[in-house]
Amino acid sequence: MKNYFTIKKPVENLIVIERSKFICYLSHCGNEEDAKNFISAIKKQNSLANHNCYAYIADEVGLVQKFSDDGEPQGTAGLPMLDVLKVKKLYKTVVVVTRYFGGIKLGTGGLTRAYSGSVVSALEKAEIVNMQEGITLSTILDYDKYSIFNKFIQDFSIANLKTEYGNNIEISFSVKLTEKEKFIKQATDVFLGKIAFTEEKVDFYPFKN
């Protein structure tokens, strides 16, 4: 897979159905361990809740996934939540829906609608990003070349741009893997061969386009 969608920042959202509170917590997760840690933290935060149901897809291809009904009737909570993630094509994403029971039973159909609806409602508040395969490059520039570099990179999709100022300017950033060769060649031409890049980590990054 060359790209996938996920949640940029954690989201918390509350809906109330027949006096029961359903609090949905959504987050990006780097791997399954991150997902489990997020779930544990939410459970600890809501230790008095009747249920903390969860679902996650912890990789970028959908092979690492799990869900739990946490005491609700089988198939009424975790699986519907997971189905929402699949329909929205969200990967490396974890969701927990905490329920504080309000005294009115919803039935299996009502529960399924409540848990899936809770996730859908939270996603309306979430910023979804397209993570694309890229490579991190770094370079060192003299100060008089910095403005030229900033103008040059405007023609490319750049993510995770970091700049450190010292005797020189150290710059680290990510470009799409498919654009790496083009980027390096054009940069070499612009700087008349007086620029060098160190190739670092290949991973998925939130490019804007």
Residues 176 and 107 in one domain: no
User: Domain of 79?
Assistant: 3-126
Contact assessment for residue 44 and residue 79, using Cβ atoms and an 8 Å cutoff? no
Q: What is the CATH number of the domain that holds 160?
A: 3.30.70.240
Q: Which of 66, 92, 126 is the last residue of a domain?
A: 126
Residues 38 and 9 in one domain: yes
From the list 47, 119, 109, the residue with the least C-alpha distance to 83 is 119
Q: What is the CATH number of the domain that holds 48?
A: 3.30.230.30
Amino acid found at 171: I
- pTM attached to this predicted model: 0.79
**Tell me: the pLDDT tens digits for 111-126?**
999 999 999 999 999 9
Residues 13 and 103 in one domain: yes
Q: Which of 126, 149, 165 is the last residue of a domain?
A: 126
Residue 208 has pLDDT above 80, yes or no: no
Residues 38 and 106 in one domain: yes
Residues 120 and 138 in one domain: no
Residues 57 and 103 in one domain: yes
From the list 49, 2, 58, the residue with the least C-alpha distance to 23 is 49
Residues 167 and 73 in one domain: no
Alpha helices (H) along the chain: 32-45, 78-87, 107-123, 146-152, 180-190
Residues 142 and 160 in one domain: yes
Residue 43 has pLDDT above 80, yes or no: yes
Residues 190 and 92 in one domain: no
**Tell me: the pLDDT tens digits for 135-151?**
999 999 999 999 999 99
Residues 19 and 116 in one domain: yes
Q: Is the dihedral of CA 170, 175, 177, 179 positive or negative?
A: negative
Domain count, the chain: 2
Residues 98 and 190 in one domain: no
Residue 7 has pLDDT above 70, yes or no: yes
Residue 58 has pLDDT above 70, yes or no: yes
DSSP state of 155: G
pLDDT at 209: 63
**Tell me: the pLDDT tens digits for 70-86?**
999 999 999 999 999 99
Q: Which of 109, 126, 143 is the last residue of a domain?
A: 126
Residues 34 and 136 in one domain: no
